[in-house]
Amino acid sequence: MAYRRFCQAHGATYKGVRLGFWGIFGTFSFYPGKNLGAFGDGGAITGHSKSLSDACRKLRDHGRDHKYSHDIIGFNSRLDVIQAAVLSVKLKYLDQWNESSGD
């Protein structure tokens, strides 16, 4: 299976394409110590398959795809709004930080 972990490679490219676009799935960690870290734990999955992406969305939200409809057993792994806000601000500076990290 073409699964890739890019937990330490936020903003990196390969052959001119950002990581996360390669393979069926890519995963990213937003642990606070990463180059794109949230205020607390967090992560993301990228993918090209709509059916697999829909399944991941269900899993992260208690197995539901809409309110009061739980098709499978899932868990609570939704990124909260505070973490999303921190990441949204930091994302604007990611390329600049990555370029200067080698200095």
Examine residue 23 and state whether it is found in any structural domain, yes or no: yes
User: In the chain, how many domains are there?
Assistant: 1
Residue 103 lies in a domain: no
Residue 61 lies in a domain: yes
Structure tokens at 38: 């949230």
pLDDT, tens digit (0-9, with 9 covering 90-100), for 3-30: 555 567 888 888 888 887 777 888 888 9
Q: Which domain holds residue 23?
A: 3-97
Give the CATH number for residue 78. 3.40.640.10
- Taking the model in full, what pTM does it have? 0.75
- Confirm whether 102 is domain-assigned: no
Residue 101 pLDDT greater than 80, yes or no: no
Closest listed residue to residue 95, CA positions, set 26, 7, 13: 13
Could you report the per-residue pLDDT of 42-98, keeping only the tens digit for each?
888 888 888 888 888 888 888 888 888 888 898 888 888 999 999 999 999 999 988
Classify residue 74: in a domain, yes or no.
yes
